[in-house]
């Protein structure tokens, strides 16, 4: 292994209690366990109205007419708005491409698209009014896959595209295309002893955060609006909302409410503009809360994908080449599709060394539900396919699948297919070694002296087996995910840090716009402030748009980027504090001028440990405040023909071993254990790190065996928009998840840390699939795998 | 919408007679979901929670009179000896929270083919006690299910109780869902051995427009057990008999492809569950029989 | 219609209740008790779990009118309820915890302050609540209120649960963030502390 565990330089604060590296507890924990934490759906205002959205009942149609008369005439109804009522010429929004209508204009492009909005004095009144809006549709044929999207006579999902991708895509129903070509895959294929092809399908996953889309818009006296909402990125929302409302950004004041999970599903707007429009129209506060049914239509999903892979290998187990084509279905609107294409193509090779590659990824426009960001996007779909391929090639060669991976594992110094060198630890082989070395769970763990405990068997409480037909399988997988926003995006964050004396104690206040969505950023920010400023008391101010952008809580980036911004701002504050100290007390001790000074335990100390003074005295009568942007090192876009470019900031790696028991007769699966090993660079908060890994692992388990939004291929309508038929793993479906955390510092990152949130979601799914293949001997080329796929009854 | 709160059974019957469209609500498991998701806006909602009698049961000589609102939790915990199949089925209903509120009356009233209680009731043998101001009647369970979400109740009738035959032999219940808890049946199977009458009864859930019995399979098995002298000998059931029974149970299905599973899978899974539940119950019968003989 | 019932030991009344409203809606929107959560409104997630006459139920599936005259315990009253139980009043009816809703003003003023390693300081918590914080069982926290009510009731019935018992008792409560491992840890921790009399 090339990398070693070089200690990270921490010159400050290693003595301060509650600093980085400790499992300090969440500052919002008490509020969350007492029910007092205010989520976006908990907002309440005197005299508030309820907003309701009318959504299309068909996937693709021209809107012939909309009649709102009857709805408007209802008692208790304050406003009904359609496209015609939008206040400015800006009537679309979107993360990268502004192709999404605030309200449908002339056409609907997917099932559940917002067509009209209503404000009324009770949610039931609003629902009844929405039901009275008459919309006449003239249905159009639906585009649901690559063939129908690129057929010669295909209807264009978006006419007259003028976005910056249209110039390089082969068809207007393709959002973006990214090839990655390096070496000569054909020539390399000629050297291969075995060539293994596979075609895989990855189903549409839902983020299924538990807190539904919701928020409260309150009109303000200056003609602006205050918006309390759950989002992943306040400033990105703001940039999309303000122009539609015709307001300058400073008149749309956004405050982050409690966020009930996100996982990418809150990167796009949902009810934000609608609530503001209704509030401004009625002059009253408007609350919108989606129910679970609506939530399935109210946010983008994980891209379903078809993946065509060809690997070659020599007899001694060296991969020769990769040819691969990844077709992602972006649905009706672009959302994050271009970035998903970038990730899928640039990470299609996986954490392996392959010099000769020919990769292409595209995202379609279709009439399926819009797809965008979800934990690990692009990389998740690719990992499912390349890990299935690794097992297949290993089998073809008669090699142990873990040994085969080890032989081909990338390491620090490996050149990616994009030409980018991997310039920090990449302990792929070590993670596999560790996860394989973990003790195995006991066999037949359901048996006890009292008989079979069905809760520990496939089928669980449903009492389908007492051990009959049950076969154990074991599978391994490892994945690679980029951290942060890539491809030349100006990815920065802003932190405002203030230090002052309150109540006789030095107190730091950290203010960022970072969306705390449950990941624990607020915990970590306080730890960083303690470490850097040597204080115990840290206040985390609510996230809002009164401070600069923090960027998105996504792409495993917040601890890196906003954590980095907090660290940076703290360092600047520290310098100022020391300046004050020198000014006030420099004459009392020569060390003020000569030594390297630290803030520790509420005191100014020399690096030799000598105490020079109390922070309380230094800060007496003074407050120090710094607001500063911070950037990670820049990235480059990928070349549009070759895919070459230093596109990524950092990579993150995790490996899983899955142990499953399959009832081979009924096709039911019990995941017994999902062990994970992950390199986190530096665990700023070990408890939170493990929580992230276990949570990400479980979302990967979900997509492996139960989670899928099912879209009718004939109508492009969603068939299971509810928690009755879109199944999330329960506590009885979730195994023990032992975690082995490796800390190999990345010297480019604050404290050497590595973004952690997404990597475990990648390898969990293919590990479970590999284990099921191991138990059943079946090929299994799609996920989720359902009982009918395991019993030949599909 | 009006909310009716009858304080007694008689008041409930009177209210239902006056407002035949009134939707009774007890555990709320079905009705509230429909209201929350705007699938249903009944003119009258009639709360049955105030009628204490509905949450009680009586164990009689031959059967248990089970109030329509006795929560599944109580059936699981208090009636597993008398109604083992129904107790097992109750344990597979949704979640602990739902089992604390929901009762068999709701399953019968909704008459969804996926209701968990149905296969157990069909296998055990039961009668639904329905009542209106016009009078009371007992509807045999085999005649109760009339179509997808349709039952034999008249518009003015309410379900007061279900009379379930006390187990005279082992019973089993199995349900396939794609999750290990809190799942709606993809398909389900109930089986009861009735040593007193030397018969076997079955119930199939979610694999036909209504819950059904696999009557041909029952007849085949009854004959095979009788002819082979199995009831007396307590022999292990011949694999070929179990296999044919399973196939006939599959054949009794008339399933559809839907988002929860394919028709082919349902047929297949019912067969597997039929074979397994037959094995489990028969093993249990043999065990009990051998224990008795050993004691004698 | 008008609905009266007791919440966390305190009589509550709501007027102009639409007959189709759930107990959950009335608690959240009419009584200022938004602690019980509205994640699915179809009884599939357990985030709205409250105790109705002592029994854990999904409050989204209880029609508001069905709660008339009954006793409800929500997460807001859980600490008081647990305290009363520890002091020998098992019904929760002798508690006097007044639920606190979240007004916009309170929400605006929300700040995470103090020493976060001592979170919980100054607030009296039920043992299960403290265990959830200590074990890292809270991430986004949306499932937490329902899980706390369900877990507390399970420990009341079964003070020494096996892992399988815990999983079964909590199988009606979905969590999307944690993968449940830390929730298992929290319940084990609460059970252990309970048996040690901590």
Over residues A247-262, mean pLDDT? 97
**How near does any CA of chain A get to the CA of C144, in Å?**
6
**pLDDT over 90 (residue A2):** no
- Residue found by looking up tokens 């920010």 in the block: A525
The tally of domains found in chain B comes to 1
The answer to whether the Cβ–Cβ distance between C172 and B41 falls below 8 Å is no
Q: Decide if A32 touches C, using CB distance below 8 A.
A: yes
> pLDDT per residue over C19-58, tens digit each?
999 999 999 999 999 999 999 999 999 999 999 999 999 9
pLDDT band at C88 (very low <50, low <70, confident <90, very high): confident
Query: Predicted confidence band at A15 (pLDDT cuts at 50, 70, 90)?
Result: low
Tens of pLDDT, residues B219-255: 999 999 999 999 999 999 999 999 999 999 999 999 9
C20, C22, C61 member nearest B1 (Cβ): C20
Indicate the residue of A18, A542, A734 with minimum beta-carbon distance to C110.
A542
- pLDDT tens digits for range A23-40: 999 999 999 999 999 999
* Contact: C172, B182; criterion CB under 8 Å: yes
Q: Residue B254 belongs to a domain with what CATH number?
A: 3.30.390.50
**Distance (Å) from the alpha carbon of C43 to chain B's nearest alpha carbon:** 7
B74 Cβ under 8 Å from any chain C Cβ: no
Pick the more confident residue, A89 or A3: A89
CA distance C169 to chain B (A): 7
Is the pLDDT score of C59 beyond 70?
A: yes
> Looking at residue C192, what is its pLDDT?
96
Average pLDDT over residues C129-139: 98
**C117 touching A (Cβ < 8 Å):** yes
Opening angle at CA A126, ends A123 and A132, nearest 5: 145
Q: What is the pLDDT of residues B181-197, one digit of tens each?
A: 999 999 999 999 999 99
| CATH architecture of the domain formed by C3-74 | Roll (3.10)
Residue B143's CB is within 10 A of a number of other CB atoms, namely 11
- Confidence band, pLDDT 50/70/90 cuts, at residue A3: very low
Name the residue with tokens 């276990």: A694
- Nearest Cα to Cα of residue A247 among A212, A283, A267, A220: A220
pLDDT score, position C196: 85
Tell me what pLDDT residue A450 has: 84
CB-nearest to C172 from B1, B5, B95 is B95
Window 2-21 of B: residues touching C by CB (8 A cutoff) are 2-3, 5
Q: A517 at the C interface (CB within 8 A)?
A: yes
Q: Is the separation of the CB atoms in A426 and A651 below 8 Å?
A: yes
> Looking at the partner chain, which of A27, A228, A291 has a beta carbon nearest the beta carbon of C112?
A27
Q: What are phi and psi of A591, to 5 degrees?
A: -60, -25
A710 inside 8 A of chain B by CB: yes
- Give pLDDT tens digits for B71-84: 999 999 999 999 99
- The predicted pLDDT at position C90 comes to 53
- Pairing between β-strand A286-289 and β-strand A49-55 as defined by DSSP bridges: parallel
- Cβ-defined contact of B97 to C57 (cutoff 8 Å): yes
The whole-number pLDDT of residue A318 equals: 98
Which residues in A lie closer than 8 A to residue B276 (C-beta atoms)?
464-466, 468
Choosing among 3.20.20.70, 1.10.150.120, 3.30.70.260, 3.40.50.2020, the CATH entry for C79-86+120-196 is 1.10.150.120
What is the per-residue pLDDT across A688-728, written as a single tens digit (0 to 9) for each?
Answer: 999 999 999 999 999 999 999 999 999 999 999 999 999 99
Subunits adjacent to chain B (3 or more Cβ pairs under 8 Å): A, C
Annotate B47-69 with DSSP letters as a single string: E-TT-GGGG-EEE-SSEEEEETT
* pLDDT over 50 (residue C64): yes
Residue A473 has pLDDT above 70, yes or no: yes
A262 CB neighbours in chain C (<8 A) are 140
Contacts of B47 in chain C (CB under 8 A): 63, 65-66
Banded pLDDT at B289 (limits 50, 70, 90): confident
- pLDDT, position A785: 98
Pairing of strands A305-313, A319-329: antiparallel
Q: Which residue in chain B is spatially nearest to C2 when comparing CA positions?
A: B3
pLDDT of C110 reads 43
Check whether C91 has a pLDDT greater than 80.
no
**CB contact residues (below 8 A), chain A span 704-723, against chain C:** 722-723
Chain A residues near residue B172 by CB distance under 8 angstroms: 463
Question: Residue range B153-168: average pLDDT?
Answer: 98
Query: How sure is the predictor about C121, in pLDDT bands with cuts at 50, 70 and 90?
Result: low
Q: How far is C196 from chain A (nearest CA, A)?
A: 23
pLDDT on residue A12: 54
C188 close contact with A: CB closer than 8 A: no
* Domains of chain A in sequence order: 29-38+492-631 (3.30.365.10), 47-140+210-261+266-298 (3.90.1170.50), 427-484+648-790 (3.30.365.10)
Let me know if residue B63 belongs to a domain.
no
The Cα-based distances of A29 to A26, A541, C80, C100, C181 in angstroms read: 5, 15, 18, 17, 17
Contact A730 B182 (CB under 8 A): yes
Residues A480-534 have pLDDT tens digits of: 999 999 999 999 999 999 999 999 999 999 999 999 999 999 999 999 999 999 9
Calpha distance A463→B180 (Å, rounded): 9
Put simply, whether A666 touches B (Cβ < 8 Å) is yes
**Which residue in chain B has the smallest CA separation from C49?**
B97
With contact defined as 3+ CB pairs under 8 Å, the chains touching A are: B, C
User: Alpha helix locations (H) across C54-180?
Assistant: 78-86, 104-108, 127-135, 144-157, 163-169
Helix ranges restricted to H, B69-213: 72-78, 84-91, 96-99, 104-110, 117-124
CB of A417 closer than 8 Å to CB of A321: no
Q: What is the mean pLDDT of residues A289-298?
A: 97
pLDDT at C94 over 70: no
Contact in structure between A722 and A683 (CB atoms under 8 Å): no
Q: What is the pLDDT of residues A98-136, one digit of tens each?
A: 999 999 999 999 999 999 999 999 999 999 999 999 999
Collect all residues of chain B within an 8 Å Cβ-Cβ radius of residue C45.
none
Nearest CA in chain A to C165: A455
pLDDT at B158 over 90: yes
* A533 part of contact set with chain C, CB < 8 Å: no
Identify all chain C residues contacting A654, using CB atoms and an 8 Å cutoff.
none
Query: Rounded to a whole number, what is the distance in Å from the CA of C115 to chain B's nearest CA?
Result: 37
In the predicted model, what is the mean pLDDT of chain A? Answer: 96
C6 and chain A: CB distance < 8 Å anywhere?
no
A249 φ/ψ sector (left φ>0, alpha ψ -120 to 50, else beta) = alpha
**Among residues of chain A, what percentage have pLDDT more than 90?**
96
Q: Does B257 contact chain C (CB < 8 Å)?
A: no
Please report the number of interchain residue pairs, chain A to chain C, with beta-carbon separation below 8 angstroms: 254
Q: Residue A342: its pLDDT value, please?
A: 98
A contacts of B178 (beta carbons < 8 Å) = 668, 705-706, 727, 786-787
**Coil vs helix vs strand at A84:** helix
Per CB-CB distance under 8 Å, the chain B contacts of A788 are: 261-262, 264-265
Quote the percentage of chain A above a pLDDT of 70: 98
Q: Which of A228-237, A607-616, C138-147 has the lowest mean pLDDT?
A: A607-616
The answer to the question of residue B286 being in a domain is yes
Q: Is the pLDDT of residue C115 over 60?
A: no
Band (C117; pLDDT cuts 50, 70, 90): very low
- The side-by-side arrangement of strands in the sheet containing A505-511 is A537-540, A505-511, A492-502, A624-631
What is the rounded distance in angstroms from the CA atom of residue C89 to the CA atom of residue C93? 8
Minimal CA separation from B222 to chain A, in Å = 24
Residue A576, min C-alpha distance to chain B (Å): 57
Whether the predicted pLDDT of A608 surpasses 70? yes
Question: Which part of chain C is CATH 3.10.20.30?
Answer: 3-74
State the nearest Cα–Cα gap between A793 and chain B, in angstroms: 5
Compute and round to an integer the Cα radius of gyration of chain B: 19
Confidence of residue A448 (pLDDT cuts 50, 70, 90): confident
Beta carbons within 8 Å of B38's beta carbon, 6+ residues apart: A127, A131
The pair of structure tokens assigned to A127 is 């629902």
Is the pLDDT score of C106 beyond 70? no
pLDDT at C112 over 90: no
Put simply, whether A462 touches B (Cβ < 8 Å) is: yes
The domain of B196 spans 171-295
- According to the model, what pLDDT value does residue A451 have? 86
The CA distance from C166 to A731, in Å, is 9
Helical segments of A534-601, H only: 558-585, 591-594
Residue C197: what pLDDT? Answer: 76
CA distances A187 to A178, A182, A312, A386, Å, are 22, 12, 11, 21
Å from C18 to nearest chain A CA? 8
Shortest distance between the Cα of B217 and any Cα of chain C, in A, equals 34
What is the side-by-side order of every strand in the sheet holding B2-4? B2-4, B44-47, B23-25
Residue C105 has a pLDDT of: 54
Backbone angles phi, psi at A116, to 5 degrees: -150, 160
The ranges of chain C annotated as CATH 1.10.150.120 are 79-86+120-196
| Cα dihedral across residues A108, A111, A114, A119: positive or negative | positive
Residue B285 in any domain: the answer is yes
For the stretch A673-690, pLDDT in tens is 999 999 999 999 999 999
CB–CB contact B276 A464 (8 Å): yes
Cα A54 to Cα A59: distance, rounded to the nearest angstrom: 14
Residue C78 dihedral angles phi and psi, to the nearest 5°: -65, -40
Q: Measure the CA–CA gap between A308 and A779, rounded to whole angstroms.
A: 15
């Amino acid at each position: 292994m090339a990398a070693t565990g070089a200690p990270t330089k921490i010159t400050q604060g290693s003595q301060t209690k509650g600093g980085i590296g400790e499992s300090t507890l969440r500052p919002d924990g008490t509020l969350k366990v007492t029910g007092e934490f205010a989520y976006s759906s908990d907002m309440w205002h005197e005299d508030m109205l309820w907003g309701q959205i009318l959504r299309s009942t068909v996937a693709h149609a021209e809107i012939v007419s909309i009649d709102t008369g009857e709805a408007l005439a209802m008692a208790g109804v304050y406003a009904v708005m359609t496209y015609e009522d939008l206040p400015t010429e800006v009537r679309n929004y979107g993360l990268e491409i502004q192709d999404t209508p605030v309200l449908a204009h002339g056409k609907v492009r997917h099932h559940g698209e917002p067509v009209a909005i209503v404000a009324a004095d009770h949610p039931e009144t609003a629902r009844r009014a929405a039901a009275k809006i008459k919309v006449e549709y003239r249905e159009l044929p639906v585009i649901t896959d690559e063939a129908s999207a690129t057929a010669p006579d295909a209807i264009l999902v978006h006419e007259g595209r003028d976005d910056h991708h249209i110039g390089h895509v082969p068809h207007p129903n393709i959002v973006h295309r990214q090839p990655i070509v390096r070496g000569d895959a054909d020539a390399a294929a000629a050297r291969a002893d075995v060539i293994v092809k596979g075609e895989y399908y990855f189903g549409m996953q839902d983020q299924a955060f538990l807190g539904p889309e919701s928020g409260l818009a309150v009109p303000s006296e200056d003609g602006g609006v205050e918006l309390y909402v759950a989002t992943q990125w306040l400033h990105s929302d703001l940039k999309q909302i303000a122009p539609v409302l015709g307001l300058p950004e400073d008149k749309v004041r956004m405050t982050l409410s409690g966020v009930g999970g996100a996982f990418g599903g809150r990167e796009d707007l949902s009810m934000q503009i609608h609530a503001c429009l209704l509030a401004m129209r009625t002059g009253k506060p408007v609350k919108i809360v989606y129910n679970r049914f609506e939530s399935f239509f109210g946010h983008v999903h994980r891209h379903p994908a078809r993946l065509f892979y060809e690997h070659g290998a020599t007899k001694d187990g060296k991969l020769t080449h990769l040819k691969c084509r990844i077709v992602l279905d972006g649905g009706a609107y672009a959302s994050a599709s271009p970035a998903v294409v970038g990730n899928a193509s640039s990470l299609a090779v996986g954490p392996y060394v392959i010099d000769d590659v020919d990769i292409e990824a595209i995202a379609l426009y279709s009439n399926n539900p819009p797809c965008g960001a979800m934990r690990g996007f692009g990389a998740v779909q690719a990992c499912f396919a390349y890990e299935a391929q690794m097992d297949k090639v290993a089998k073809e060669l008669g090699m142990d699948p873990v040994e085969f991976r080890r032989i081909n594992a990338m390491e620090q110094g490996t050149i990616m297919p994009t030409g980018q060198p991997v310039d920090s630890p990449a302990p792929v082989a070590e993670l596999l070694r560790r996860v394989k070395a973990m003790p195995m769970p006991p066999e037949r763990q359901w048996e006890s002296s009292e008989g079979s405990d069905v809760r520990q068997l496939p089928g669980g409480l449903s009492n389908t087996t007492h051990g009959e037909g049950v076969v154990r399988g074991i599978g391994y997988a490892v994945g690679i995910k980029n951290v942060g926003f890539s491809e030349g995006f100006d990815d920065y964050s802003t932190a405002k840090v203030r230090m002052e004396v309150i109540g006789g104690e030095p107190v730091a206040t950290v203010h960022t716009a970072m969306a705390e969505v449950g990941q624990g950023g607020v915990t970590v920010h306080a730890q960083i402030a303690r470490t850097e400023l040597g204080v115990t008391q840290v206040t985390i101010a609510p996230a809002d748009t009164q401070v600069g952008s923090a960027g998105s809580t996504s792409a495993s980036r917040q601890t890196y980027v906003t954590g980095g911004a907090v660290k940076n701002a703290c360092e600047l504050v520290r310098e100022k504090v020391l300046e004050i100290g020198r000014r006030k007390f420099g004459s009392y001790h020569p060390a003020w001028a000569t030594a390297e000074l630290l803030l520790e335990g509420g005191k100014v100390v020399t690096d030799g440990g000598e105490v020079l003074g109390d922070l309380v005295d230094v800060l007496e009568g003074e407050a120090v405040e710094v607001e500063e942007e911070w950037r990670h090192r820049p990235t480059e876009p990928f070349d549009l023909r070759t895919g070459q470019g230093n596109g990524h900031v950092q990579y993150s790696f995790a490996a899983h071993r899955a142990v499953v028991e399959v009832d081979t007769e009924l096709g039911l699966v019990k995941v017994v254990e999902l062990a994970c090993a992950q390199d986190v660079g530096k665990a700023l908060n070990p408890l939170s790190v493990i929580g992230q890994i276990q949570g990400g692992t479980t979302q990967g388990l979900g997509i492996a065996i139960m989670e899928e939004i099912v879209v009718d291929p004939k109508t492009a309508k969603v068939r299971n928009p509810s928690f009755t038929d879109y199944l999330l793993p329960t506590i009885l479906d979730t195994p023990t998840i032992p975690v082995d955390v490796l800390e190999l510092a990345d010297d480019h990152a604050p404290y050497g840390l590595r973004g952690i949130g997404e990597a475990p979601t990648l390898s969990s799914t293919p590990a479970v699939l590999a284990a099921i293949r191991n138990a059943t001997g079946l090929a299994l080329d799609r996920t989720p795998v359902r009982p009918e796929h395991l019993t030949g009854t599909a | 919408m009006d909310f009716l709160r009858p304080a007694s059974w008689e008041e409930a019957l009177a209210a239902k007679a006056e407002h035949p469209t009134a939707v009774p609500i007890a555990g709320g498991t079905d009705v509230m979901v429909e209201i929350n998701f705007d699938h249903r806006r009944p003119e009258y909602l009639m709360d049955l929670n105030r009628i204490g009698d509905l949450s009680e049961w009586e164990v009689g000589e031959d059967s248990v009179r089970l109030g329509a609102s006795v929560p599944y939790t109580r059936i699981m915990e208090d009636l597993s000896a008398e109604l083992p199949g129904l107790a097992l089925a109750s344990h597979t209903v949704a979640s602990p929270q739902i089992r604390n509120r929901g009762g068999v009356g709701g399953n019968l009233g909704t008459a969804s083919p996926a209701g968990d209680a149905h296969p157990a009731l069909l296998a055990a043998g039961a009668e639904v006690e329905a009542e209106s101001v016009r009078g009371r009647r007992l509807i045999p369970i085999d005649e109760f299910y009339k179509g997808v979400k349709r039952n034999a109740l008249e518009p003015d009738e309410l379900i007061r109780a279900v009379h379930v035959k006390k187990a005279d032999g082992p019973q089993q219940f199995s349900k396939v869902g794609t999750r290990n808890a809190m799942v709606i049946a993809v398909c389900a199977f109930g089986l009861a051995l009735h040593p007193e009458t030397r018969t076997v009864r079955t119930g199939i859930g979610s694999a036909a427009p209504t819950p059904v019995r696999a009557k041909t399979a029952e007849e085949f098995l009854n004959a095979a057990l009788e002819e082979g002298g199995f009831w007396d000998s307590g022999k292990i059931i011949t694999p070929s008999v179990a296999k044919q029974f399973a196939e006939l149970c599959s054949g009794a299905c008339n399933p559809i492809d839907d988002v929860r599973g394919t028709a082919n899978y349902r047929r297949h899974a019912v067969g597997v569950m039929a074979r397994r539940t037959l094995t489990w119950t028969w093993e249990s019968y043999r065990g009990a029989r051998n224990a008795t003989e050993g004691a004698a | 219609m008008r609905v009266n019932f007791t919440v966390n030991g305190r009589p509550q009344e709501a007027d102009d209740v639409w007959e189709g409203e759930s107990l959950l809606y009335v608690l959240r929107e009419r009584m200022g008790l938004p602690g019980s959560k509205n994640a699915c409104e179809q009884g599939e997630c357990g985030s709205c779990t409250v105790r109705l006459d002592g029994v854990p139920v999904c409050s989204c599936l209880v029609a508001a009118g069905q709660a008339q005259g009954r006793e409800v315990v929500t997460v807001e009253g859980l600490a008081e309820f647990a305290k009363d139980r520890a002091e020998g009043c098992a019904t929760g009816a002798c508690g006097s915890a007044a639920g606190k809703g979240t007004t916009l003003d309170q929400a605006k003023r929300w700040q995470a302050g103090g020493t976060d390693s001592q979170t919980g300081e100054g607030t009296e918590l039920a043992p299960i609540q403290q265990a959830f914080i200590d074990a890292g069982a809270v991430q986004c926290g949306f499932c937490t209120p329902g899980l706390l009510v369900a877990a507390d009731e399970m420990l009341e019935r079964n003070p020494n649960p096996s892992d399988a018992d815990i999983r079964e008792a909590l199988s009606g409560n979905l969590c999307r963030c944690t993968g449940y491992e830390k929730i298992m840890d929290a319940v084990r921790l609460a059970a252990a502390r309970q048996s040690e009399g901590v």
